[in-house]
Amino acid sequence: MSEIHDTDRPDDRHVRPDSVSDGTVQALGTLSEALETAEQARGHLYAFHQLTGGADLTLGKAVEQLRAAGHGEQADLVEREIVGRNVIPGCWTFQIVEAYNATYYAPFADVERQVRQELAEGRTHLYEAEMKEARRTRGHPDHTARP
């Protein structure tokens, strides 16, 4: 039997501490999955923010073009009713992003970090690291434990 080299094992930050149970690894994995889902939602929120802002800037161009084409009344309507409009009462998209980050995302990330620190010495992705170890082919050049 060949000796396992250090590079054929996960690095220490991806190995569970001895006191951490299978159930804890699973629970931390689920907690991490939930945070990753919130990260995706946050990304969509930023996309919403950028797309809505881009639409508003393009509306400004449409207003200019309507005026240049001799449609001042319609340009005024678009400018008055839509350009710069709140997307929900009192808020532009940046305010929605800020509220989401402050009210939900930052506390979620802080609590996830705290739980990992308390239960697994702060180690991340233990569930995934163990899944990788179970699924990879040792000795295969494209199945190495580390980069």
Using 50, 70 and 90 to split pLDDT, how confident is the model at 127? Answer: very high
Q: What is the DSSP letter of 88?
A: B
Per-residue model confidence (pLDDT) at position 2: 46
- pLDDT tens digits for 10-57? 888 999 999 999 999 999 999 999 999 999 999 999 999 999 999 999
Using 50, 70 and 90 to split pLDDT, how confident is the model at 6? Answer: low
Per-residue model confidence (pLDDT) at position 1: 44
The token duo for 91 is: 């808020």
Average pLDDT, the chain: 94
Angle between helices 22-68 and 93-100 (to 10 degrees): 170
Q: Which of 146, 130, 46, 26 is nearest to 93 (CA)?
A: 46
Beta strand segments in the chain, E: none
pLDDT score of 85 more than 60: yes
The token duo for 94 is: 């940046």
